[in-house]
Amino acid sequence: MRPITRELLAYLDEQRSILKSAFESVPSDMRDQPPSPERWSAVNIVEHLAIVEARVATILSNRIEEARAELSAETTTEPILPTIDYKRVYDRSTRVKAPEVAIPTGLDAASAWAALENAGSMLRAVLVQNDGLALSSITHPHPRFGLMSAYQWVAFLGAHEVRHAEQIREDHPQMLKAQKRSE
């Protein structure tokens, strides 16, 4: 397996661990409760991530398949993670409205987490099955970050999970305060 694939797989695992820790820090009976009417619950966030990751895995898979005949072997040997502008992804000072296709539908906690695990498996499979191909030449535009390579998209998805892990952590204390006031 090429170093860039190993780098991205390890990064995805690290980011998923951060998300899981944040999700599990919310009491299970509160995970499906939004902290306020205009916010998503922890479960909604996980479902949103599952939707986005599944869509991106499908898009990348399709782009790779379309270009397969012309794809050469990957020549990039530099790590990909230093090329990602994580600060822009992590920045929670500006709320970002999800596109309609990425809005949670109301899954329960177990189903949302299973959907995220499935989407993550799809994404990892795209990387592993195409290991050694010039995925740096496969691009797709992101609405906020512009044209990104397949590698950058994978790294973005890891950072996207951390962005939402922070959202869960930010909202969790608000939920506990509201619970204490109602007791």
Give the lowest-confidence range in 30-44, 116-130, 145-159, 166-180. Answer: 166-180
Opening angle at CA 124, ends 169 and 115, nearest 5: 55
User: Higher pLDDT residue, 14 or 146?
Assistant: 14
Query: And the tokens for 155?
Result: 């790294």
Q: What are the domain boundaries of the chain?
A: 3-182
Q: What is the mean pLDDT of residues 154-180?
A: 81
CATH topology of domain 3-182: Four Helix Bundle (Hemerythrin (Met), subunit A) (1.20.120)
Residues 43 and 31: their CA atoms lie apart, in Å, by: 6
What are the residues whose beta carbons fall under 8 Å from the beta carbon of 168, sequence distance 6 or more?
A: 19, 22, 23, 25, 26, 42, 45
Confidence grade of residue 154 (pLDDT, cut at 50, 70, 90): very high
Q: Identify the pLDDT of residue 106.
A: 93
Q: Distance of CA 101 to CAs 50, 56, 97, 105, 135, Å? A: 12, 12, 11, 10, 26
Per-residue model confidence as pLDDT tens digits over 77-103: 889 899 888 778 877 787 888 889 999
Q: What is the mean pLDDT of residues 62-79?
A: 91
Residues 32 and 175: their CA atoms lie apart, in Å, by: 11
Q: Distance of CA 16 to CAs 40, 48, 102, 129, 132, Å? A: 19, 14, 19, 21, 24
Whether the CB-CB separation of 161 and 95 falls below 8 Å is answered with: no
Q: What is the mean pLDDT of residues 174-183?
A: 51
Task: Scan for tokens 């661990």, then name that residue.
Answer: 17
Residues 131 and 121: their CA atoms lie apart, in Å, by: 15
Per-residue model confidence as pLDDT tens digits over 50-60: 999 999 999 99
Q: Identify the pLDDT of residue 151.
A: 95
| Residue 156 confidence (pLDDT) above 90 | yes
Using the Cα atoms of residue 18, residue 21, residue 25 and residue 31 in order, give the sign of their dihedral: positive
Give the global pTM. Answer: 0.91
Q: Identify the pLDDT of residue 38.
A: 85
